[in-house]
Structure 1
């Protein structure tokens, strides 16, 4: 006899069907608000400025706004914190005891460390005027403690320190001069003007004159090197330290460094201080040496042999930044970076020219 199989009730009964209702909202028309504005319609948007002059005007306007805001903030901070504004009203240049001195009212400008009066040779009136202008634009005595606001003062004091060090009778005399010489000669092995790009390939960029980056670098280097080996270091040969076929820079031939080292050690205090500033600014020893040699009023100056000013601030800054400018023209420049760096290099090279140049008749 078969035993009936029991089916669970849950399986025997049909499962309930769940119905999910769908709802649809009633479509409504949009209510457009009436136009209540008056006046002419706004100007259409203009594309971003691509012209260099437009970018320059925009940055100047932005700088003026920042300057105004800074002046307002400085005035407010001065009232709240009690910081006194500058204690001088007028800045003048006077001839005292055979030298030029910058006076803040009746007080002569002094060295910040030695407290000695800063004396500029009579043959450098432009340098003294620029120094006076640097102090005339300061708004408070506190700004005079910030080195980046008085760069020309720092450069002149560097030259005066070298003068004092050369005149001292201590066993460590000329220590500053020796240190500067060793520092600047290190840049000769990695000179930015002597490092050339590899030969151009078929797809590399060329300028309007069908020149590659290597061609432009080679032309600039050969012009400066020819000037130096003809008027400054006759008889020596300066080779490129990196010509694109190697990743390791090579040193100059034997005897070249000794000749150049003797030339650097023979510079006067103003010239060697200017050489140091120019080398650090452009990362090029040969470009800095040409600036000093062409513009100096001292014995190393070659202004009598070639026209003075041929290698200007603009030429020197372009020569030391050929690759950066080339890449910026191809890929675009970074605003507030490339342009700021270029202006800073021009400022430092300009201060070097002011430092070493003069009328040619020095009085100390």
Structure 2
């Protein structure tokens, strides 16, 4: 069944182990994705999170309040059907990574960027052999082919669930390095958000805040944290170990 634009008709959402993973059932009826594929996810933790989102619905189903369900649907309907294309799209962020583009002035902002970003670029080099070039200003800088290939290999090794999470982590921050750092445990999504906002927060400190822009930023931060959670639900054993 398709959940979108329907009212709640079920009493209870449950989880059942099935071939290929775990399915969510509403009063015994299996949930399907918007493309009518079986909503079967790889871990019980993910299925239970989805079931909890369905149980929380009152009246009309609100997809905006169901981030795990939406991410799982995207993993199945979109990412799985074009795995290599999505991986390539994500990997391409390495060629224009946010962390590589520094301000030309003032010195205080230059120092903030260096303090926040240099350690992550060093991590990418030490961990993956990817030394990205840094420039000042907005003119593009060519990145070493071996560095891009090393980062792309990390992305290409991921499955559809992992790519769905990484897609949002990278797209929202504008940084492949930050996205990989989150999923590989170098830092949390909240810290990645702060690092990705150095320029914006500097401008706000100088010229003041805009209410509409702040609301949009909060929505993006929520989506970033949701992506981090989706990755963790794909790897519950690793999360429990931490």
Superposition TM-score, scaled by structure 2 size: 0.82
Q: Distance in 2 between matches of 1:110 and 1:214?
A: 49
Match of 1:219 in 2: 115
Instruction: Note the 1:152-191 alignment, pairs <5 A.
Output: 152-161=68-77, 165=81, 176-191=82-97
In the superposition, relative to structure 1, how do residues 148 and 333 fare at CA in structure 2: closer, same or farther (>3 Å)? same
Match of 2:225 in 1: 350
Contact 1:225 1:286 in 2 (8 A): yes
Relative to total residues, which structure has the larger strand share, 1 or 2?
2
In the superposition, relative to structure 1, how do residues 180 and 344 fare at CA in structure 2: closer, same or farther (>3 Å)? same
Of 135, 141, 150, the residue aligned with 1:250 is 141
Match of 2:160 in 1: 269
Match of 1:130 in 2: 49
Q: Distance in 2 between matches of 1:225 and 1:217?
A: 12
Q: Distance in 1 between matches of 2:49 and 2:190?
A: 19
Unaligned runs of 5+ in 1: 1-82, 166-175, 202-211, 295-309
- Residue 133 of structure 1 deviates from its aligned partner by 3.0
| Alignment of 1:286 onto 2:177 | yes
Q: Deviations over 1:162-181 (max 9, x none)?
A: 7854xxxxxxxxxx122213
Q: Distance in 1 between matches of 2:140 and 2:80?
A: 37
Q: Distance in 2 between matches of 1:360 and 1:323?
A: 36
Of 211, 216, 232, the residue aligned with 1:341 is 216
Q: Distance in 2 between matches of 1:331 and 1:322?
A: 14
In the superposition, relative to structure 1, how do residues 337 and 137 fare at CA in structure 2: closer, same or farther (>3 Å)? farther
Match of 1:118 in 2: 39
Contact 1:317 1:345 in 2 (8 A): no
Relative to total residues, which structure has the larger helix share, 1 or 2?
2
Give the number of the structure whose alpha-carbon radius of gyration is greater.
Answer: 1
Q: Distance in 2 between matches of 1:223 and 1:188?
A: 16
